[in-house]
Amino acid sequence: MTDFKNQSIYITGGASGIGRAVVDTFANEGAFITILDKSVKGLEEIKADLGDRVQCISGDVTAYEDHEKAVSAAVKAYGKLDVFIANAGVFDGFAKFETVTSAAMNAAYDMLMNINVKGYFNGARASVEELRKTRGNMIFTVSGAGFYPDGGGVWYTASKHAQIGLMRQLAFELAPEIRVNAVAPGGTLTALNVIPPLKPFVKEVDNDTKAKSIKTRNPLQIAMDSEDHIGPYLLLASKKSRAITGEVIASDGGLSVRGL
């Protein structure tokens, strides 16, 4: 596939997990990638692995100016922006609504919604002008929790529903120049962090237990790795998909066909 040769891609949360797999894949396809992430260590590793294919911006998705910095850097280095991938996210650890104190509930709301929802608003707004110039596209990493209960607690589930709403409204408003779509991974073995305000209310789960639980929840019985999701990103980002906008591709082992 040569669809992505010299394409300029901006991704948030590309230093780990699903984002890292997406970065590796697009770099391998010949794209240049600008990554915004708060993990300095993760960014150093990726730079050491991928060299000139990537430029790394250390920052926070909740700060609009960090996205502006990343978009300017992408345009300065690669002359344009073709794709924006909103991906950085945090988790609530399945914290149960009623067991969390009202103070922690509020702190968790502010932190998780800021990162998962405002982070996507910010990245989309900062990218829109450059994407219009290239008739580019946006892809949001959402989740099975954007459709179903029990993919997280109320904070995570509400944030993932909000991301899908944002994606649909943007697909409507930004047509015909910019396509906006989403990928909805199911439970995946990554380091997805539980936010500090909810840590006292959740149990730490080791990877084996997590893998077992994910397998029993989806019909294909897969404990997914980050690399299992890259197909839909390649498909949606490609100019060969010019008729697709406002869609969510589920990559979740078949959650919609679990049956009664």
Q: Catalytic positions, please? A: 156
Minimum Å gap between C-beta 64 and ligand NAD is 12
Residue 50: both structure tokens together: 């991928």
Residue type, 259: G
Minimum Å gap between C-beta 206 and ligand NAD is 15
Cβ proximity to ligand NAD: between 115 and 249 the closer is 115
- Virtual CA dihedral for 30, 18, 176, 165, nearest 10 degrees? -170
Q: Name the CA radius of gyration of the chain, rounded.
A: 18
In the chain, beta strands by DSSP E = 8-12, 32-37, 54-58, 83-86, 137-141, 179-185, 248-251
Report the distance separating Cα 227 and Cα 206, nearest Å.
20
Q: What residue number has its CB nearest to ligand NAD?
A: 17
Cβ proximity to ligand NAD: between 20 and 179 the closer is 20
Minimum Å gap between C-beta 226 and ligand NAD is 6
Cβ proximity to ligand NAD: between 58 and 134 the closer is 58
Helix, strand, coil percentages for the chain (3-state, nearest 5): 50, 15, 30
Report the distance separating Cα 182 and Cα 23, nearest Å.
16
Minimum Å gap between C-beta 61 and ligand NAD is 4
Cβ proximity to ligand NAD: between 12 and 245 the closer is 12
Tokens 């996205």 sit on residue = 67
Tokens 């100016």 sit on residue = 65
Which parts of this chain interact with ligand NAD (CB under 6 A)?
A: 12-13, 15-19, 37-39, 42, 60-62, 87-90, 115, 141, 143, 185, 187-188, 190-193, 226
